[in-house]
A and B are shown apart, each in its own frame.
Chain A
Amino acid sequence: MRGAAVTARLASYVTRLTRGGGTGTGTGVGVGTGTARAGHITHIDRRAFSTTMGGAPYVPPHRRGSTITSASNASNASANDKTDKKILHLVRHGRTEMNEYLAANRWDGTFIFISTRAIRLMT
């Protein structure tokens, strides 16, 4: 009983993330992952990640060469697919000052404010 209530409550904050279907990335997420036994909110199958990088550290796109994928990595990923899964919990951030401002001053969604100068000054 408690478990169901907990699940329902958490689910109201959590977005399901699946690779194949619709994807909910949310915005400004906090994520917890763990090894799964019987996941209750969101399952992320390791195969969904299609690990082209194997056990190598994450390399951002602009630093990537052309040799990321290797047969051995692909093989290792395949082996891992059969042994473990991870659970990914996505949590949207709480209400912000800007959320309240937008609620009071409804924005039509077409306006884009990108003040490069102001942004640079923030650094």
Chain B
Amino acid sequence: MCTASDFVDPLFYDTRLTKKGAEQAASLAPVTRFLDPAPEVLIASPLHRAMTTADLAFGSCQGIKKETCALMRERVFHASDVGRHPDAIEADFPDWCVKALREEHAEKDGVWWYAGDTDGGDNLGAAVSVSGVVQEPVEEVSLFLSVYGQVE
């Protein structure tokens, strides 16, 4: 078992699904196609693994609205939790909407993940990233969903 001192971060920036991970996600597709009511919107963290999982798991839900939501990102423990600029996300996932992501983080040049701000925060529940306190982001996710839950 590695300790704090000998653990080596492999620097898998925005880590990808493995073949097994893709199979896990795709195995949900036969299930999600029968959801009743049918899904109205997909919301995923802007991390590659989350959007890929959502695409594979809900692949049979054609024409569904897809939104990224930085509130659902993970804590930044390793390079694998570091995200990418909205432009890069849009290039890889053209059917996912990154408009809100881009606009909400324009002041930080599109950096929506925890990036070691000097005040210890990133204005989106920094405590999530540094202390594990999750209550605040859960509240924010609720607000976010309350808006997108109004999709008709």
Are these two chains actual partners, yes or no? yes
A29–B45 Cα distance when bound, in Å, is: 6
Interface presence of A106 (CB below 8 A): yes
Interface presence of A63 (CB below 8 A): yes
Interface string of A27-59 (1 = CB under 8 A from B): 111111111110000001010111111011110
CB of B132 to closest CB in A, whole Å: 10
B28 touches A119 (CB 8 A): no
Chain B, range 2-32, C-beta contacts under 8 Å to A: 2-5, 7-13, 15-18, 20-25, 28, 31-32
B147 touches A53 (CB 8 A): yes
Residues of chain B lying within 8 A (CB to CB) of residue A74: none
Interface presence of B133 (CB below 8 A): no
Residues of chain A lying within 8 A (CB to CB) of residue B134: 23, 25
A58 touches B144 (CB 8 A): yes
A91–B17 Cα distance when bound, in Å, is: 14
Interface presence of B38 (CB below 8 A): yes
Identify the A interface with B (CB < 8 A).
6, 9-10, 13, 19, 23, 25, 27-37, 44, 46, 48-53, 55-58, 60-63, 86-89, 91-101, 105-108, 110-116, 118-120, 122-123
